[in-house]
Amino acid sequence: MDDTTQDPAELHTPVLLERCLELLAPVAERPSAVIVDATLGMGGHSAALLEAHPGLTVIGLDRDAEALALAGRRLERFGDRAILVHTIYDGIVEAVRGAGFERIDGALFDLGVSSLQLDEADRGFAYAQDAPLDMRMDQGVGPTAAEILAEAPEGRLRAIFERYGEEPLAARYARAIIAARAEAPIDRSGRLVDVLQAATPAAVRDQRHPAKRVFQALRVEVNGELVALERAIPAALSLLTLGGRLVAMSYQSLEDRLVKRELVSRSRSTAPAGLPVELPEHRPEFALLTRGAELAGDDERERNPRSIPVRLRAAERLREAR
């Protein structure tokens, strides 16, 4: 289904919008400020930032061509203050340089699958809707989920489900998929759900939907999300000017642990234990702006259920790296 004729503001409610605006306001108010929206989606966060800060330029990145088209319509009123780039977020350095900038004042990551991708049934992201098992955020690149299910050996399937879905029944599900694909292709979400349901003990089926973690794992594998994120967060931090800020919202524990690890490690002193005086080069590069991970409030959770799993973390550059 083509949603490019619809109003993006009606399709998407940005998560933790006011908190993101609050955290980024000090840098967005700088003269000629530049902020990268590394996961542009339908442009909700970017539109709010550009509206609130007339001197701001936003560089919006997204690998999904349909999302870029929708965001482009939403942001066209801001003219050349909105620069859209078709790339995944680990291409942030090239995108910033390609737009004519060396450094940035802020970066925003709203990770995971977008509302557009979840709501568009024929993309195959949602286990509750029968659709072709594609799951590619950029539909012009890489193998589909159906191709992985058709070709991957049992050991690889088990590893994908364990690593990216933290699925305790990974081995059982991998065996079931190998047996099922010998009878008929697993190329639709409904067929995969049926295979997983049949392989799940009744006691587990009563506790949770057996497809949730497997679908997450396949999506992460298809799109290389964690591999890209491992490169993207350090790259974004390296681009920040003194006082620049990074805000990241994660929707599953693997993303959040990766973001947390990078921000916490860059916000610690590197001085050797027992050193009587902390030398300037050992001082933390960054300071954490949140105490742990912040959650959406009760009102927002009720109003926008997709905010329920979000974990927000933020940091500010204190000094330049040496």
State CA 80 to chain mean position distance. Answer: 25
User: Does 112 carry a binding-site annotation?
Assistant: no
Q: Where are the strands (E) in the chain, listed by range?
A: 34-37, 57-62, 82-86, 104-110, 240-250, 286-288, 311-317
Looking up tokens 């690889």, which residue turns up? 156
Structure tokens at 254: 């693997």
User: Does 224 carry a binding-site annotation?
Assistant: no
Structure tokens at 89: 């977020």
State CA 36 to chain mean position distance. Answer: 14
Helix (H) or strand (E) holding 115: helix 115-119
User: Does 216 carry a binding-site annotation?
Assistant: no
User: Does 110 carry a binding-site annotation?
Assistant: yes
Pair 34, 3: CB distance under 8 Å: no
Please tell me whether residue 223 adopts helix, strand or coil conformation.
helix
Q: How many residues does the chain have?
A: 322
Tell me the helices (H) and strands (E) count for the chain, helix number first. 15, 7
User: Does 89 carry a binding-site annotation?
Assistant: yes
Pair 258, 235: CB distance under 8 Å: no
Distance CA 23, CA 8 (A): 24
Distance CA 245, CA 21 (A): 12
- Residue numbering of the annotated binding site for S-adenosyl-L-methionine: 43-45, 62, 89, 110, 117
- Residue numbering of the annotated binding site: 43-45, 62, 89, 110, 117
